[in-house]
Structure formats: structure tokens, C-alpha cells
Amino acid sequence: MLGYLKLVLAETENLPSEEPPSILTTSVNTYTDKFNGYDTALKASAVNPATVSVTATDAGRDDAWRGANAYVKAMCNHPTADVASAAAEVKSLFDKYGDPTSLAQTEESGVLHNLLQDLEAFDSSKRTLLALDVWITDLKTKEEAFLAAAAARTEADAARQVGIVKETRTAAEAAYRSLVDTVNALAMINGDTDYATFIDHVNAMIERQKAISKARSTRAKKEDEEKPSL
């Protein structure tokens, strides 16, 4: 929506100037002000303080996985056969899922969830033999910290969407409709010669927006129809 409103703002340059300024100038100035307010709010909303915590906890769980994996790998060469054998079994669990640290955050959580389940279900006597529980606990704690931070980020995102961004968008849309109504009224009163370029360009943009919305709707419907039924 911001992109469309910005294009309309550019088109106001095609409206006639007024001496002295009257209703059209007031309408354009109001629209400009409300658009700038929406643009500023949207840019501010992109900065989410919770993202810092998500980044830090994501790095923390990466380090925890790498440390546990390296420890188990080293224990595979333990001089005591029983320890080395138990370590090889655990290493096979790590290898089963691969290195998740380069995956997208949600995918990594899925891998770690499965890995932790397997590690916690592993024979308790062998876990004790390897002193593995401290590593499992560390990885689980770091993953839970990430999930909590990610949830906080989601809540913050939602709060912004229903807060100032929504308010400024509503104000910008209302100012846009008022501007269009003003131009149409003036064109009826004064003739459309001075307003034709603005009207034609905005109408073309409206049709383009309708076509984009229709294409998206059609694509979404097609994807929904192609989903396998359960």
C-alpha cells in the first residue's frame, strides 16, 4: 500500500497550482503530511528491539550445538572402549540430522527439537558414562532461550501492526480518498483539462493494483486447490 500511495503523491505534481492557495492545495498538503507520517511510522516499526535478543540467543544455541558435537566427536577416540562406543552412538544421532546452524531459524528449531528428543531418550547409563547430560541441558536451555526471544519478537511485531502503523496508514488512506474526491469535484466544476493528467495516471494505477490483487487471489486459490486432501 505504501508504494501505491507514494506514486499518487508523485502524481500531485501534475495538479495545477493555485493562487491564492485554496481547497486543492489544502488537500494535497494534508495528503503529503499523512503519507509522510505513515512512511515514518512504517520505517520505525521495522526496528524491533526484540530482534537483538533473537540474534544473540540464536548464536548461543549454535555455539551449544557446535560444542556438544565437537565433544562427542572427540569422545569417539576415547581410550576406553565402552566410552568410545557410546560416543559413536551419540555421534550418529548428531550426524543423522546434520549441522543445523546454517539453516533458517525455524528449520533449526525443528532439527534441534528432534535431536534433543533423541538425546534425552538415549540410554541413561551411557549418558552418564559420557558425562553427556551437561551438554544436553546446555543445548536445551539455549534452544528454549531462543524460542522465548522469538516469541517476544512475534508479539512485538503484532503490537506494532495494530498500533501506530495501523493508525497512520488509516489516516493516509483517508487523506488519499479526500484528495481524489476533491480533484474529481474540481474537475466537474472547472472542467477536467487541468486535472486530466493526474486523473488518468491515478486511474491507470488503480487498474494495475486491481490486476495485481486479482493475480494474487487467483494464485492463492490455485495453490489451495493443489494441496493434497487429508
- Residue 169, H or E segment: helix 164-190
- How far apart (Å, rounded) are the C-alpha atoms in residues 28 and 21? 11
What phi and psi, each to the nearest 5 degrees, are found at residue 191?
Answer: 90, 155
* 3 state SS of 99: coil
Which residue type does 208 have? Answer: R
Give the sign of the dihedral formed by CA 171, CA 174, CA 180, CA 181: negative
- How far apart (Å, rounded) are the C-alpha atoms in residues 1 and 166? 12
- Per-residue pLDDT of the chain in tens (230 residues, 90 and over written 9): 678 898 889 999 999 887 566 889 999 999 999 989 888 887 766 666 677 788 899 999 999 999 999 999 999 999 999 999 999 999 999 999 999 999 988 899 999 999 999 999 999 999 999 999 999 999 999 999 999 998 888 777 666 665 677 888 889 999 999 999 999 999 999 898 999 999 999 989 888 888 877 776 666 555 555 555 44
Cβ atoms 39, 180 nearer than 8 A:
no
